[in-house]
Amino acid sequence: MTDLGLVVPVAESVAVILVSGMFLLGPVGRATGEAIRYWLAGGRRRSPALESAGLDELQDQLNALQHQVGEVTERLDFTERLLAQQRDRGALAGGGEG
């Protein structure tokens, strides 16, 4: 007969080893290692993992978003001015009510 008191800890140990191995050898583990190497180098060089992540593409997207936010801000200002003018006209036309 098998002693379950020994099987469970062994199975847990195997599961921990497998999950740890997948984490350390997978993309998360590689990126973590690159970040540690970059940090240990004092930040003097760019991490290859970060460069391969498409920082130029992210910068382009950020610039496009900043441009869009600027356009939306201009449109909002314009709309607020139109609404203020409309309120002023309404106040002048109906000034005797109240």
Q: Delimit the domains of the chain by residue range.
A: 1-53, 54-98
Task: Record the pTM.
Answer: 0.40
User: What is the sign of the dihedral through the CA atoms of 51, 57, 60 and 62?
Assistant: negative
Residue bearing the bigger pLDDT, 54 or 35: 35
> What's the DSSP call for residue 10?
H
Q: How far apart are CA 96 and CA 93, in angstroms?
A: 8
Helices (H) and strands (E) in the chain, counts: 4, 0
Closest CA to 32 of 18, 43, 47, 17: 47
pLDDT of residue 95: 57
| Tens-place pLDDT, residues 45-98 | 655 655 656 777 888 888 899 999 999 999 999 999 999 898 888 876 665 554
**Residue 25: exposure state from Cβ atoms within 10 A (0-12, 13-18, ≥19):** exposed
Q: How far apart are CA 29 and CA 60, in angstroms?
A: 28
To which residue do tokens 């050898």 refer?
A: 25
Residue type, 78: F
